[in-house]
């Protein structure tokens, strides 16, 4: 068997994060009785993505990130004196309800869990990620769920993977592979730690970085032949 230990990202790999994000922002704006235009959503999406990339680089704390994105968003809308922490809490309530699986994810997890050791590796907020995995009925497929805020380091840092693999019994680097949609988080992290990787790229985004995945797939079911 080529690979035995499979380290899965969650967002936009197993669960549709973009759908959950949009649903959560719609819920928040409806609660606030504010219109949510496509331009406003796109601004939030881009700002949020940029902040998470800063977090990956260790340039911003997760707690600051979670609040700053809403302070920036509402400031752009001309709404000042907003309680960013309160907005984060209400947004998180709605986000926790978003657990739409990515195409083929349930079947692939079901197929692989009988023959491989499956783990989650995510930078997301612990309570939310645990809630979403449970709601999707995915949690029972995994031997452990490793979340950055509980691990004490975040992808792509070597420290994250050092702590994760230290907790995996019978860990063998050559039989371990990271599966995720993010070049700068999942694939870069795997490469820096000497692990093989699968870049899940369903929309055929161009790779404009120097980060090279071991494999690239556009459908999750293609993972099965890689790890067999």
Tokens in use for 194? 């000497």
Instruction: Give catalytic status of residue 186 as yes or no.
Output: no
Report phi then psi at 222, rounded to 5. Answer: -70, -15
CA pair distance 181, 217, nearest whole angstrom: 10
Tokens in use for 147? 């979340």
Tokens in use for 84? 């960013």
CA pair distance 136, 193, nearest whole angstrom: 30
Could you tell me how far CA 130 lies from the centroid of its own chain? 12
Tokens in use for 90? 């209400």
Write the DSSP symbol of residue 214: S
Q: Which of 41, 43, 42, 68 is nearest to 54 (CA)?
A: 68
Q: Residues with catalytic annotation?
A: 9
């Amino acid at each position: 068997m080529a690979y035995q230990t499979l380290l899965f990202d969650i967002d936009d790999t197993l669960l549709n994060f973009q759908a959950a994000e949009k649903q959560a922002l719609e819920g928040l704006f409806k609660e606030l009785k504010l219109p949510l235009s496509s331009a406003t959503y796109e601004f939030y999406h881009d700002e949020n993505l940029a902040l998470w990339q800063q977090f990956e680089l260790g340039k911003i704390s997760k707690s600051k990130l979670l609040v700053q994105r809403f302070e920036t968003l509402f400031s752009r809308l001309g709404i000042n004196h907003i309680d960013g922490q309160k907005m984060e809490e209400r947004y998180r309530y709605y986000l926790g309800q978003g657990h739409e699986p990515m195409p083929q994810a349930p079947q692939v997890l079901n197929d692989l869990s009988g023959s491989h050791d499956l783990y989650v590796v995510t930078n997301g907020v612990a309570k939310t990620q645990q809630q979403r995995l449970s709601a999707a009925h995915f949690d029972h497929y995994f031997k452990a769920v490793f979340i950055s805020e509980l691990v004490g380091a975040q992808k792509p840092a070597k420290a994250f993977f050092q702590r994760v693999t230290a907790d995996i019994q019978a860990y063998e680097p050559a039989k371990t592979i990271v599966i995720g949609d993010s070049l700068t988080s999942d694939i870069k992290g795997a490469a820096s730690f000497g692990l093989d990787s699968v870049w899940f790229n369903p929309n055929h985004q161009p790779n404009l970085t120097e980060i090279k995945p071991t494999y690239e797939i556009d459908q999750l079911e293609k993972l099965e032949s890689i790890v067999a």
